[in-house]
Amino acid sequence: MKVIASIQDMTRFSQTLRIQNQTIAFVPTMGFLHDGHLTLMKEGKKRADHLVVSIFVNPAQFGPTEDFSTYPRALAQDLEQCRQVGASAVFTPSEAQMYPSGFETYVGLEKLPFHLCGLSRPAFFRGVATVVTKLFNIVRPHYALFGEKDFQQLAVIQRLVRDLNFDIDIVGVPIVREPDGLAMSSRNKYLSPDQRPCALLLHQCLETIEKMVRQGETDAGKLQDQAEKILASVPDMRVDYVSICDPETLEPVPVIAGKVLCAMAVWLGKTRLIDNRVMGPRT
């Protein structure tokens, strides 16, 4: 497995593979890899001749008061995991390479970022869209894999690829959960032993809302109220949002007639957690 730190070397590596008619699956990450990432990588290996993983904690997607400096980093351990999965290369660019002095071009979407997480994290999707565009141009993959836990991020990338004519197949991979149901996330590391059981409430809340929808509840307002009531049962938990929305546009849906996305974000102490599920009435 090659560990490639320079943009030129990464592009050269991909170009060589492409000339040999080899396909490339790409998993962009910010490191501190967990089973969710490993699932994306294994899925990538199934689809293409070569797997490339990037590890880059992208400063452009963190707000000024967010956890960029404390975001967990474990490069040696991450590289070992990539090796075990059978990655052909891991791209580990520096911040200076990705954002050299004078950098001023950002990629922004007009609508999708102004829902759900984008409302409380205004810099986030501009930063994600920018870094992913750069990574796509550098790595030049045939496939790129993203987790459905970050449902809005996946929607943004799918839109970006369509709008900017990237010839890349975007693959969404279902949420990977701990045995008790908590969606895997690098930020779960921040949870204290007391907070960890409370974090389960998101998953339990989604189960309850899905059950209500399947039993015929169509009023999204009622479902939202119920979800907020469940989440408010933990004193240390603050709801950022609960949304019942269209899975494509992310626009709120007032009356449920078909498939909807139920997405939520909470603060548990200082840790922000998200979860979601696509659900619909029983047919």
Nearest distance from residue 81's CB to ligand PAF, in Å? 15
Distance CA 256, CA 105 (A): 40
**Which among 65-73, 128-136, 162-170, 199-207 is the span making contact with ligand PAF, rule CB under 6 A?**
128-136
Distance CA 203, CA 209 (A): 10
Reply yes or no on whether 203 is catalytic. no
Does 28 sit near ligand PAF (CB under 6 A)? yes
Residues 50 and 24: beta-carbon distance below 8 Å: yes
**Which among 25-33, 77-85, 196-204, 233-241 is the span making contact with ligand PAF, rule CB under 6 A?**
25-33
Does 132 sit near ligand PAF (CB under 6 A)? yes
Identity of the residue, 51 or 132, whose beta carbon is nearer to ligand PAF in the bound complex: 132
Identity of the residue, 24 or 230, whose beta carbon is nearer to ligand PAF in the bound complex: 24
Distance CA 147, CA 153 (A): 9
CA 59 to chain centre: 16
Does 145 sit near ligand PAF (CB under 6 A)? no
CA 217 to chain centre: 29
Of the CA atoms within 13 Å of residue 191, those in its CB half-sphere come to 21
239-278 binders of ligand PAF (CB under 6 A): none
Does 30 sit near ligand PAF (CB under 6 A)? yes
Nearest distance from residue 28's CB to ligand PAF, in Å? 4
Q: Which of 171, 158, 150 is CA-nearest to residue 109?
A: 158
Near ligand PAF by CB under 6 A: residue from 7, 116, 131, 264? 131
Does 175 sit near ligand PAF (CB under 6 A)? no
Kindly give, in sequence order, each residue whose CB lies less than 8 Å from that of residue 71, ignoring residues fewer than 6 positions away: 30, 32, 57, 62, 186
Question: What is the set of active-site residues?
Answer: 37
The binding site for ligand PAF (CB under 6 A) comprises: 28-30, 58, 61, 128, 131-132, 150, 153
